[in-house]
A and B are shown apart, each in its own frame.
Chain A
Amino acid sequence: MSAGCRKGMVINMRRKIFGIVLNVILVVLGLVTVYPFIWMLFSSFKENKEIMALEQHLLPSAFTVDNYINMNARFNFMRFFANSLLVTIVVTLAVVYTSTLCGFVLSKYKFKGRNILFGFVLSTMMIPWCVTIIPKYSMIQSFGWLDSYKALIIPAMFSGFGIFNMKQHIATLPDEILEAARIDGANEFFIFHRIIFPMAKNGISSIAIFQFLWTWEDYLWPYLVINTKEKQLLAVGLKMFSGQYSTDYGALFAATAISIIPVLLIYIIFQKQFIAGVASAAVKG
């Protein structure tokens, strides 16, 4: 056997071992990443005495769904869930529509002031929540929108982040398709709804899931503008619940699981388009 060949084999072996080590590291890191979710989920099916026991196991020794029943019976938790779902879906649909529309106009139309407008949209993303939230709260109060879902939906209808991402995304769609449709006599409303919208699928799914998550997890704004308990959203409900039943860990685990699962499900279903959309905006941006 020649020296070169042996050297090649050694390199091959080293490469193989290195590959195994790398895979093991990634699997361990992956387990660390999902462990909190698994622990939460299993704990939500344990009895309180098992959660508090000195000796603990990951799997529940006596499987129970009482926590889920208690959480809802004591606190009407599913009401918060339904409220959140409604508000989140409305806001997400609105933001997807306005972002795609603004993104289309800003990327495919040439007009005076377009770049200024786009620069302005970009700069809105730099403004911290804390600068505007106090006056926004006072404004909503003076509009008489407190304690109504108008306060949650209307100020959230346009998103700088959404417009920016959709502009970047739609800019990559070929102009020729638009030109062809125009020559065929299609008006701009048709072009937007029937051509741009379906073609911008990846961009849409990425801003949709982000917007869904942000509205779903938003704490401070619903906490400020909604006063009636029955109208409150999930994130605030979770905090209220933990304030009242701070030691009923089983029910708390169940409530937490309920707040996380819908978002995770949507993510798992749409992850492909979603990740493609997130990444493409950043590469171009």
Chain B
Amino acid sequence: MFKKSHPLQSKSEIILRDIVVVAMVLFFSVFLIIPIGIAFAGSFHEWNPLSGTYRFLGLENYKEVIVNPLFWKSLWNTIIFSVVVIIFRVGLGLAIAYAIYSALIKYKSFFRSVFYMPVVTPMVAVAFVWKFMYNPQIGTINQMFGLDVNWLMNPKTALAAVIVMTIWKDFGYAVVMYMAGLYSLPADALEAAKVDGANAWQNFRYITLPLLKSMTLFVVITSIISYIQAYVQILIMTEGGPGTATYLSSYIIYDEAFVKYNFGYASALSFVLFIITAIFTWLSFRVSGNEE
């Protein structure tokens, strides 16, 4: 009978479907598509809401992005920041997840919950906590290690300090993801390898790791997207300083848009950053050989 496709749609189904489709299309048009269009148009204009300027400039804003040394510096900082954080996030996440997954650990869900804690805490607040921890006067880090370093004010250590904080906040996400990946692995593949006499390392390297490839790709891509947009820790901890040592690209956009009110220039920067995000995402798909 109508088992598979149930072609006779009920009236309530049609009504519900129409409401949902219309609401979604309307919402995302108003708050996403139209804003993207306005931003794109705005990126070709000198656009300052304070002085009420909106004057066509052509490609001038984009040219200025390319010749702005601070943009390149921030892009370089963003790349260092993202690459280091992602390496640690994936590495620590995988290692810890694999350790918890192994038969040697008893309190699995306890450990998992502990490592996930920083992920669910508000960034503004934990950025403050870490700012205080790095503080040379009241901070616990210098106290603990008997050091005398002004972590966030020293151009050599500031970016690293922000990176460490971000790794602390985010590695738990990878732990939970990899644990989910590990528990969904086909048991027979692992069993077969054991029967064939594979040792623990071979088992991990040639069976488990390849099976976790799509999870790694997922973690890497969501990380790229979120780290290219990261700015809150910078806003709270360093405001881009000392000098330009911790300027990240998103922080420049924040600064241009809502401190200097150069809306046009900030829009141009946003599109450049968006394209960069897309390129890196595409690259990680290519590197992993996953074409879905």
Residues of A within 8 A of B (CB): 15, 18-19, 22-23, 25-26, 29-30, 32-34, 36-37, 39-40, 43, 51-52, 56, 98, 101-102, 105, 109-111, 113, 117, 120-121, 124-136, 138-139, 155, 157-158, 160, 163, 179, 182, 187-189, 192, 209, 213, 216-217, 219-220, 223-224, 235, 238-239, 242, 249, 252-253, 256, 259-260, 263-264, 267-268, 271-272, 275, 278-280, 282-283, 285
Contact = CB atoms under 8 A, between A and B. Distances in A.
B22 to A, nearest CB: 11
A220 B258 contact: yes
Interface residues of B, number: 90
B122 A213 contact: yes
Contact of B104 (A23, A40, A224, A238): A23
B125 A22 contact: no
A228 to B, nearest CB: 18
B287 to A, nearest CB: 18
B179 interface: yes
A102 B16 CA distance: 10
Contact of B35 (A102, A136, A224): A136
Interface stretch (B69-77, B80-88, B131-139, B155-163): B131-139
A105 B17 contact: yes
B114 A30 contact: yes
Given A26-B96, A128-B277, A220-B258, 8 more contacts: A105-B20, A128-B270, A134-B267, A135-B42, A138-B263, A217-B123, A219-B123, A264-B121
The interface residues of chain B, by DSSP majority, are classed as: helix
Contacts of A126: 225, 277-278, 281
A182 B1 CA distance: 14
A57 to B, nearest CB: 10
B10 interface: yes
22 contacts: A18-B104, A23-B104, A26-B96, A30-B115, A34-B117, A52-B138, A56-B140, A101-B20, A111-B21, A126-B278, A128-B270, A131-B271, A135-B35, A135-B38, A138-B38, A139-B30, A139-B34, A217-B122, A217-B125, A238-B128, A271-B116, A278-B180
